[in-house]
Amino acid sequence: MAGGKLSARQKMINLMYLVFIAMMAMNMSKEVLSAFGLMEAKFADSNALTSERNEALLADLDKKSEEKPEDFMIPAAKAKEVSAASDKFYRYIETLKNDLLKQGDYKIDPETGKLPFEAMDKTDILDEAWFTGDRMTKKGQEVMSKIEEYKSEIRRILGKDIKAQKVLANFDKTFSTEKVENKDGKKIDWLDYHFKGFPAIASFTKLTAFQNDVEVTEANIINYYLGNVLTDAVSLDKYKAIILADKSAFFAGEKFQGRVVIGKYAKVPPTGLSIGGQAIDLNEAIDSTGAARLDFNVGGVGEHEIDGTFTFMEDGKPLEIPIKGNYVVVPRPNSATISADKMNVVYRGVVNPMTISFAGVPDNKVSATGAGLKKGSGMGKYTMVPTSGREVTINVTATLDDGSKVSDKAIFRIKDIPKPTGKLNGQSEGKLPRNNVEIGKVESVLEDFDFDLPLTVTSFKIKVPGQPSVTCSGNRLNGTAKGALRKAKRGAAIQIFDIKARSNGPIIKPATPVVIELSN
C-alpha cells in the first residue's frame, strides 16, 4: 500500500484499512484476556470445591483410623502428611499470584470479586521477576526449587509401595518440569515455556491451574489411601439413615416433603418403614434409587424432630436402622424487608441504591414498584432516582409456593441535595498568606454526604474591602481579582461568595461563603 505515487483519496483509504486492522487486533486481544479471566474464575471455583472435598475425605479417613486402627492408622497419618505438604505448596503459589497483582497494580473489584481481566495485558512482570536473558533470576530459581521440594516430599510419603506406583506415575506426569519443545523445535526450560512473554492474566490463570493440580493430587492420594484397604463387602449396620428435605424450612400449614436415604443410594430394598410409630406403605414410598419419599402435614411454628426406623434383611434376620432428623417450620411472611443501603431517606436527582426482599421468598418471586424505582443487578438490588414530591411509596408483592400473594409497602422521605460548603485551599474560614489566596483553588464540597457526587466550581465572586466585587469564572482568581487582592491591607477580611458549581446529575445550590483573613 505504500509503493508508488498515490492519490490523496487512496492514501486515506489505505490509512483507514490500517486503523481497521489495528482495531480488530485490539478487540481480539481483549477477548483473549477475558477468556483467560473466565478460565481463572472456573479454576478458582474448582479449587474451593476440591478443597472442601479433601477435608471431608481426610476426616473420613481419620474416623476410620479410630474405628479400625490396624487398617487405617498408617494410611491416615500419610494422608495428613500429603495434606500438609500440598497446603504449604498451595499457599506458596498464592504468594506468587499476590506478588503478580501487586507488581502490576491490579485491584480486585470489591463488589464483583473479579479481576480486571482486560487490563492485565502486561508481559514484563514475571519476565523481569523470574528471567534475565536466557537464564532465571534468583526468584525464578526459587520457584523451581519449591516445585522440586513439593515433588520430593510427595515421593517420600508414597515411598516404594508397589501399589502406589500408579499414583506416583500420574503425579510425576502432572508435575513434570522437563524441558519443553517450542514451536521452533528448540527445547527450552519448563518455566520459560510456560510463563515467559505471557500477559499477566494468562500467567495468573496458569498459577491458579497449578493450584488445581495440587488439590486434585491431594484428592487422588487420599482416595488411594481410602481405597487401598476397603473391602467390597460392607455391612448395612455401618450405614445411617439420612433425611433429605426438599427445603430446609416450611410455612405453617404446608406439607413436609423430602426423602429418607440409607447412607447412599445403594438400592438396598427395605422390608419396612415407620415414621413416628406409623407404618409407611413401601410400594408408594420407595423410588427407583432406593430412597423413601415422605409426605405429611408439618406441625406448628418451630423446630420438629423426625423419628422412625428403616428395616432391612441381613443374614436372614431383620436389621432396624433408626431414622433421626429435624426440620424447622417458619411463619408465613406478612411483611417485606425494604431498606435504603445508604440511609433512611432518598435524595432527589441521585441514584439511591436499595435492597428489597421478602422473608422466605426467592428473589425471582418478588416484585417492587415505585416512582423512579428500577431493578438492578444482584439479589434484591434496586436503584431509585426520585424527582418530584416530598415522599415516595414502594409497593412490594411476593408470590408464595402455593401461588398465593402477599404484599407490603414502605414510605421514604425525599430530600434535596444539601447546600455545599465553600472552601479555599481546603479552608472555609481562617488566616492565609496573600499569595496563597491569590493562587488558591475555590471548592464546593458536600460534607457528610454519603454519596460520591463530585462538584466542579463554575464561577464565584470575591469582595476585597474598599474594592468593588469581582466575578471570576472557573475555580481560581482572574487578573482583576488578583489586582484587587494586592491592594488589600494586612488583616483584611476577603470574602468569596455566590460559589456556583455543577455535578453530573442534580442541580446544586450555591455554596456557603468563605471568609479569609490576610496574614501578611
The pLDDT tens digits of the residues spanning 51-86 come to 999 898 889 888 888 888 887 888 889 999 999 999
pLDDT at 251 over 90: no
Mark whether 361 and 446 lie in a shared domain: no
CATH code of the domain in which 342 resides: 2.60.40.10
Give the residue-averaged pLDDT of 385-404.
Answer: 87
Same domain? 93 vs 40:
yes
Which residue do the cell numbers 406439607 mark?
255
Residue whose cell numbers read 415505585: 370
**Cell numbers placing 436:** 496563597
**Contact (Cβ atoms closer than 8 angstroms) between residue 14 and residue 1:** yes
Residues 145 and 186 in one domain: yes
pLDDT of residue 269: 64
Q: How far apart are CA 265 and CA 339, in angstroms?
A: 45
As a whole number of angstroms, the distance between CA 361 and CA 381 comes to 15
Interacting residues of 434 by C-beta distance below 8 A, sequence separation 6+: 485, 486, 488, 518, 519, 520
Task: Give CA–CA dist 268/241, Å, rounded.
Answer: 12
Tell me if 398 sits within 8 A of 333, measured CB to CB.
yes
Give 34 or 418, the one with higher predicted confidence: 418
Of 502 and 318, the structure prediction assigns the larger pLDDT to 502
Same-domain check for residues 392 and 469: no
Q: What is the mean pLDDT of residues 175-189?
A: 87
Lay out the sheet containing 255-262: strands in order across.
Answer: 241-245, 255-262, 292-297
Q: Which backbone phi and psi does 298 adopt, to 5 degrees?
A: -80, 160
- Over range 392-407, report the average pLDDT: 87
Note the Cα 139 to chain centre separation in Å: 30
Mean pLDDT comparison of 90-94, 113-117, 378-382, 404-408, highest-scoring range: 90-94
Beta strand spans in 119-189 (E): 131-132, 135-136, 180-181, 187-188
pTM for the full predicted model: 0.42
User: Is residue 461 a part of any domain in this protein?
Assistant: yes
Q: Are residues 467 and 486 in the same domain?
A: yes
Residue with cell 500440598: 86
Number of alpha helices (DSSP H) and beta strands (DSSP E) in the chain: 10, 27
Average pLDDT over residues 402-415: 88
Rank 125-129, 263-267, 470-474 by mean pLDDT and report only the highest. Answer: 470-474
Q: Could you give the CA distance from residue 162 to residue 230 in angstroms, rounded to a whole number?
A: 17
According to DSSP, residue 288 is labeled T
Instruction: Read off the C-alpha cell for 270.
Output: 427395605
CA neighbor of 222 nearest in space, from 92, 84, 90, 89: 84
477-496 confidence digits (pLDDT tens):
999 999 999 999 999 999 99
* 387 in the same domain as 256: no
- Examine the domain organization and report whether 66 and 192 are in the same domain: yes
Give the structural domain span for 317: 237-330
Domain final position from 274, 306, 330:
330
Q: Are 206 and 225 in contact (CB under 8 A)?
A: no
At which of 305, 330, 355 does a domain end?
330
Let me know whether 201 and 274 are in one domain: no
- Contact present, 496 and 427 (Cβ < 8 Å): no
Q: Considering its fold, how many domains does the chain have in total?
A: 4
At which of 227, 252, 281 does a domain end? 227
3-state secondary structure 356-407: EEECCECHHHEEEECCCEEECCCCCEEEECCCCCCEEEEEEEEECCCCCEEE
> Is residue 357 very low, low, confident or very high in pLDDT (cuts 50, 70, 90)?
confident
pLDDT tens for each residue of 433-455: 999 999 999 999 998 887 888 89
Q: Are residues 347 and 425 in the same domain?
A: no
**Weakest-pLDDT range from 89-98, 157-166, 382-391, 403-412:** 157-166
Domain check: are 91 and 108 in the same one?
yes
Strands 317-330 and 249-251: parallel
Bridge partners, 442 (sequence order):
424
For residue 1, is it within any domain? no
Residue 463 and residue 427: Cα distance in Å, rounded? 17
Q: Which of 240-244, 296-300, 448-452, 473-477 is predicted with the least confidence, judged by mean pLDDT?
A: 240-244
Dist. CA 122–CA 120, nearest whole Å: 6
Share above pLDDT 70 across residues of the chain, in percent, rounded to a whole number:
82
Q: What is the grid cell recorded at 293?
A: 419419599
Specify the range with the lowest mean pLDDT, choosing from 72-86, 314-328, 397-411.
Answer: 314-328
The Cα 229–Cα 224 span in angstroms is 9
